Amino acid sequence: MALELMPVIKIGYNNQDIQTPDKYPYWEYPILWDKYNSESYKKAGFKDDINPYLAGSSFYRLFEITDSNLTKPVIDHTHEMRAGCISFI
């Protein structure tokens, strides 16, 4: 048995007012879940397409994500921490 470890990131933008698929699990309905994820990311403001590590999932290989798409969740998820910061530079 061969085991490969690779860095992945979970990107979840499921609060975009897009109807969540009613068929589970995602690996049995990958086309449905890929469409849902793609529409959610587009509505959230991601600029580039993202291809999941496993079809239908929200896991992505870090080296396959564009800089633009990797920067967006970092900025979104650190917004509150940065809101009170004052820059003196």
Position 35 in a domain: yes
Task: List phi, psi (to 5°) of 36.
Answer: -60, -50
Quote the tokens at residue 19.
Answer: 């109807």
Residue 77 has pLDDT above 90, yes or no: no
Q: What's the average model confidence in pLDDT over 72-82?
A: 85
Domain count, the chain: 1
Position 1 in a domain: no
Residue 57 CA, chain-centre distance (Å), reads 9
Cα radius of gyration rounded to whole Å, the chain: 16
**Helices within 7-49 (DSSP H only):** 30-44
Position 3 in a domain: no
Position 60 in a domain: yes
Give me the domain span that covers residue 76.
8-83
Which residues lie below 8 Å from residue 10, measured CB to CB, with a gap of 6+? 58, 59, 60
The pLDDT assigned to 86 comes to: 61
Q: What's the average model confidence in pLDDT over 83-89?
A: 61
